[in-house]
Structure 1
Amino acid sequence: MIYLTQLIYIHEGQQDIFHQFEDVALPLLDKYQGKLLLRIRPSQGQVIAGELESPYEVHLVSFPSQAAFDGFKQDKERERFLHLKDASVRKVVLIQGMSL
């Protein structure tokens, strides 16, 4: 099992476009045995300390294998809507890990 945490930073005012992409991408997780474990949208004042700016959203997802994650990333339906992600997302920090 692999775990992926995404810190997602979007362009100002592009929330609706980002949500359109998520409406397509998130349901595709099931096709690759992926699970959305957490989807958090932190608000101002919730960060106690740190050097990073607060992201628009934090996603924690799991996949049974790297191959399953790779399949999700290369999914043709998801690829058709990547222009929405490109238009709305400024930066993503991806942290990959495993359960200990």
Structure 2
Amino acid sequence: MIYITQLIYIQEGQEEVFHEFESFAIPLMEKYNGKLIQRIRPDQTAFIAGEEEKPYEIHIVSFDSQSDFDQFKMDEDRKKLIPLKEQSVRSIFMFQGTKI
């Protein structure tokens, strides 16, 4: 089992485009043994300290294996929607690990 945490930073004014991409990508994970553990959209009061920019959303997901995650990323239907992701997402800071 692998776990992935993403800090997602979106382009200003592109929230709806991002939501359109996510409305397809998140359910697709199940096809590849993926699970959305948390999808968090924190407001300013959720941040206590830190120097970096605050993300628009934080995603915590799991996949049964690295192979499942790789197959999800290469899904042909998902690839067709990558322009929506590229239009709306400025950057993603991604951590990958295992549960301890």
TM-score above 0.5, yes or no: yes
Q: Deviations over 1:31-57 (max 9, x none)?
A: 001000000001112100112211000
Q: Which amino acid aligns with 1:78?
A: R
> Can you give the 5+ residue segments of structure 2 that lack an aligned partner in the other structure?
none
> What secondary structure, in the 3-state scheme, does the structure 1 residue paired with 2:23 have?
helix
Give the Cα separation in 2 of the matches to 1:12 and 1:45.
20
- The alignment-based identity, stated in percent, is 56
Aligned residue in 1 for 2:91:
91
Give the Cα separation in 1 of the matches to 2:46 and 2:30.
31
Give the Cα separation in 1 of the matches to 2:27 and 2:52.
29
Give the Cα separation in 1 of the matches to 2:2 and 2:28.
17
> What secondary structure, in the 3-state scheme, does the structure 2 residue paired with 1:45 have?
helix
> What secondary structure, in the 3-state scheme, does the structure 1 residue paired with 2:12 have?
coil
> Can you give the 5+ residue segments of structure 1 that lack an aligned partner in the other structure?
none
- Matched residue count: 100
TM-score (norm 1): 0.98
Any residues of structure 2 matched to 1:29-68 within 5 Å, and which? Answer: 29-68=29-68
TM-score (norm 2): 0.98
- Across the aligned residues of Structure 1 and Structure 2, the Cα RMSD in angstroms comes to 0.6
Structure 1 runs (4+) greater than 4 angstroms displaced: none
